[in-house]
Amino acid sequence: MTLRACLTGVGGYLPSRILTNAELAERIDTSDEWIRERTGIAQRHIADAGETAASMGAAAARAALDWAKVAASEVDAVIVATATPDNPFPSVAVRIMGELGITHGFGFDVSAACSGFVFALATAESFIRSRHARRVLVIGTEVYSRILDWNDRTTCVLFGDGAGAVLLEAEDGEARGILSTHLHSDGRFGDILYVSPHGEEQPAVLRMQGREVFRHAVVKLAEAVDEALAANGLKAEDVRWLVPHQANLRIIDGMARKLGLPQERVVVTVDRHANTSAASIPLALNEAVRDGRIRTGDLVLMEALGGGLTWGSALLRM
């Protein structure tokens, strides 16, 4: 009998503070029209001083456990995708385990920038398939507002804070679960999207060559999508929902056109959340599952590209 990693719980957390394009236009040389036209973003959530990657991730995890009706004590592992940990160590994952009262099993962080959730999902699936764990919390949590140069209009308008979580559980059978994951990295392009080193007079901040990132995203995401479909003997028309990384509406629209999916079958949150990096896919999943769009039996395709460069895709049958 095939053992599959099935998604049984979803959760999300967004800080209450909302920063609109109009507010940003009061600080820097930009406008609501300029931001919307190039990115599709209208607003983003910003963590307050008391909110951390761990606290937001724990809130999203609790919501996922509540949805699945599973107690934290039944979780075997916690895998957190984040590029903005609260400390170099201990990991955000073990901090979240502490907040949830999980005193057994294991937890660790995955660093793959905006692709982090897909990488963490693949890692969790491997633990389940190899029978090292039966229930794994996979969390994406980010506080990008703390690594942005708020004087750089080309980057500070793009990102927001938040956390999303899913619970994966082992189930026998082939009716549902993660069908396959596909991961890639190419360090030759690490300098087109990175966080600068922290210095005595200069804090670590995000730097990006936007046009280069866009160019690679279009090509590499298309390849990752084709790879996932081919690995499972499926066609684009078999996909019910596209849940992409929420970086830029133009990239999302391009992937939808490639798959021949109408807009109503693409989950979009970038307009309200901006780019929440590793949190963006689980936040979008949480929204679409809870509002009833994504249902049991639906084939869901996820894809992301991030700094590294890293990129990947995952196919999931709900």
Q: What is the CA radius of gyration of the chain?
A: 18
Q: Give the Cα separation of 7 and 169 in Å (integer).
A: 6
106 has which bridge partners?
77
Matching residue, tokens 């009262």: 101
Give me the torsion for CA of 294, 217, 110, 265, rounded to 10°. 0
- Among candidate residues 6, 114, 182, 248, the one labeled active-site is 114
Token pair 């080193």 is found at 197
Task: Answer yes or no: 156 catalytic.
Answer: no
User: Other CB atoms closer than 10 Å to residue 102's CB: what's the count?
Assistant: 23
Provide the edge-to-edge strand list for the sheet that holds 3-13. 3-13, 161-172, 135-143, 77-81, 106-110
Per DSSP bridges, beta strands 241-244 and 299-306 are parallel
Residue that the structure tokens 């639906």 belong to: 298
114 catalytic, yes or no? yes
For tokens 């606290």, the residue is 55
Amino acid at 189: F
CB atoms within 10 A of CB 239: 20
| 118 phi and psi angles, rounded to 5 deg | -65, -40
Contact 163, 140 (CB under 8 A): yes
Task: Determine contact, residues 92/109, Cβ cutoff 8 Å.
Answer: yes
Active-site residue identified among 245, 248, 273, 286: 245
Choice among 6, 216, 248, 275 that is catalytic? 275
Task: Establish whether 286 is a catalytic residue.
Answer: no
Distance from C-alpha of 151 to C-alpha of 137, rounded to nearest angstrom: 36
The residues carrying an active-site annotation are 114, 245, 275
